[in-house]
Amino acid sequence: MVELGELEKRHEDFATRQVRVVVISNDDRETASATQSDFPHLVVVADVEQSLAKAVAVIHAGAGRNWKDTNAPTTFLVDGTGYVRWIFRPGRFTERLSPDELLAATDATWPAK
């Protein structure tokens, strides 16, 4: 959850760009709610049944606890109309984008107004 803390710290940089950071988790609703409390400037969505993860094809089969399927770390930049403008999926499960990398991708995808 270190990466969520880093994103939370930079919430003003995202807000300036009119960007909301949405985190999709396959945790139960109680855990997702606790995460939301810890990171109030992020939007935390509980996807317990992995319906959203399956719909956007980000399931990493057998990579979770007890060899269960889990969500692969994937970043989508989606515009206000729902169009996916950019996707990042790292080669390693432990990799995450830094806030600076995500902000740079945002700036490259949506030029400043």
Res 64: pLDDT = 73
The answer to whether position 109 is within a domain reads: no
User: Do strands 84-88 and 75-78 pair parallel, antiparallel, or not at all (unpaired)?
Assistant: antiparallel
The answer to whether position 92 is within a domain reads: yes
The answer to whether position 78 is within a domain reads: yes
The pLDDT tens digits for 51-94 are 988 998 888 887 777 888 888 888 899 988 888 999 998 877 77
The answer to whether position 94 is within a domain reads: yes
CATH number at residue 41: 3.40.30.10
Res 10: pLDDT = 96
User: Residue 89: which of 107, 71, 103, 104 has the closest Cα?
Assistant: 71
- What is the rounded distance in angstroms from the CA atom of residue 40 to the CA atom of residue 36? 6
Taking all residues of the chain, what is their mean pLDDT, rounded to a whole number? 88
The answer to whether position 50 is within a domain reads: yes
The answer to whether position 45 is within a domain reads: yes
The pLDDT tens digits for 10-21 are 999 999 998 999
**CB-based contact 88:97 (threshold 8 Å):** yes
- Dihedral angle sign, alpha carbons of residues 99, 104, 106, 111: positive
The answer to whether position 111 is within a domain reads: no
Band of residue 113 on the pLDDT scale cut at 50, 70, 90: low
What is the domain range of residue 24? 2-103
Q: Please tell me what DSSP assigns to residue 62.
A: T
**CB count in 10 Å sphere of residue 42:** 19
Count: domains in the chain: 1
Query: Which token pair is 28?
Result: 């139960």
